[in-house]
Amino acid sequence: SKSNMSDVEILSSKKRKLSPDADEGGPSSSSAFHHDSSSPSSSTQHATSSSPNTTTPTKLPPRPPNTYDNIRTAIVINNGTRTNLIRLIGLKSLFARQLPKMPKEYIARLVFDRRHKSLAILSSDPEKKDCDDEIIGGICYRAYPEMRFAEIAFCAVSASQQVKGYGTKLMNLLKMHAVTEGIEFFITYADNYAIGYFKKQGFTKAVSMPKGRYQGLIKDYDGGTIMECYVHPTIDFTRVPEMIQAQKEFILQRIRAGTAKSDKVVYPPLPPDFYAGQDVKSRAEKGAAERSLAIPGVSEAGWTMADLMASTRDAKDSDKKKHQLKSDLLALVSKVQDQQYSWCFRDPVDTNEVKDYLDVVGDPIDLKTMEKRIRRGDWYKTKHMLFSDMMKMVNNCKLYNGEGNTYYDCAVSLEKYLASISPMFTE
């Protein structure tokens, strides 16, 4: 609903006063970032080539019109060119106008900093070309390629172009561009005015990125809430509404297919002697499931004994314990990742570079692999199993490297740390 939107659409971080995006619904359709309608990938009809020995598949329906195709965008950097300098001045003016409480010198320093980049949405009006008014909105950010994350500094939309959803479009386009730079996470500090906007764009207050990746690279800001967004490399963020709609249609089709016949059948009431011979007073979970399955129409609707048992209290308690264990294991891995000497254990060893590693280490393991196993949910049955993998990781490092180098020293430090927190693995 647009009735509860703020009149000023100012988005930012780091002590900046921000307003939520005016368009809560997001774009109705989308395409890839910098979509080129002349390229083969943008063809409105896709067909798989056929050979004499194969059947020609059905052609896919044409893709719907794309509102993102009509948006002019540019990645602006301070490389000294006339066009980029004009756009940087426009971005500086936009941020200064929309963020009046921010020092203009600070805005200018970050916008013109060669380590920062800006994604700008440009006006399609030819009369505004090469002037400040050409900039409709922009996001200024700094990428840290070696750590695979970027910090968002400023984000704003021109007051004359608000209530058009440009805030959402800006963020979607930035995510699409981030994938090309290898960015895995966005991180920002948001004040109370901005938290709502960032939540709509997929940001969360629960930072899952290891602290060691961003600590020391970005500053902490009083009064700001640190927020993070994971950028999935295979999702087309400009087509999220279409994707959700397609998933909804698929689920509804499966439901309709499964109930096409059973929902038309009307079963008579249960006879008075239906429970005759059954132990109706038994509270055993299996007995309750058997009684439910005996009701006419239950099995015909597709219910099985396994389904009914899964809905019992014992099954729910078991699931609760599994979720708690998963949460505890992830917390332990995160605790280890935060240690400064764990940097060499966070990712798998690149066997293309260390070609003899597998000749020495028969069962490699690392923190990233452990995290994947935990999220899969069926690998670690106890905390002690995770502790065993961590000790194996330490021993692998010591075995391959030997005494007298940095990696060995890190392994020794991690081993001491694991010994100090070992009681946490037995609770």
Residues with active-site annotation: 151
Token code pair at residue 36: 């080129």
Q: Which of 102, 33, 110 is nearest to 78 (CA)?
A: 110
Q: Which of 8, 232, 23 is nearest to 101 (CA)?
A: 8
Strands 185-190 and 149-157: parallel
Give the separation between CA 62 and CA 46, rounded to whole angstroms. 8
**372-375: long-range contacts (C-beta < 8 A, 24 or more apart)?**
374/326, 374/329, 374/330, 374/333, 375/326, 375/330
Per the CB < 8 A criterion, the answer to whether 132 and 89 are in contact is yes
Per the CB < 8 A criterion, the answer to whether 89 and 76 are in contact is no
Q: Is 300 helix (H, G, I), strand (E, B) or coil?
A: coil
Per the CB < 8 A criterion, the answer to whether 280 and 318 are in contact is no
Per the CB < 8 A criterion, the answer to whether 186 and 228 are in contact is yes
Give the separation between CA 124 and CA 139, rounded to whole angstroms. 19
Q: Is 317 helix (H, G, I), strand (E, B) or coil?
A: helix
Per the CB < 8 A criterion, the answer to whether 329 and 383 are in contact is yes
Determine phi and psi for 169, rounding to 5 degrees: -65, -40
Give the separation between CA 90 and CA 100, rounded to whole angstroms. 15
Give the separation between CA 365 and CA 347, rounded to whole angstroms. 9
Determine phi and psi for 251, rounding to 5 degrees: -65, -45
Give the separation between CA 221 and CA 329, rounded to whole angstroms. 30
Token code pair at residue 390: 């961590």
Q: What DSSP letter does each residue of 206-222 carry, written as one string?
A: S--S-HHHHBTTB---T
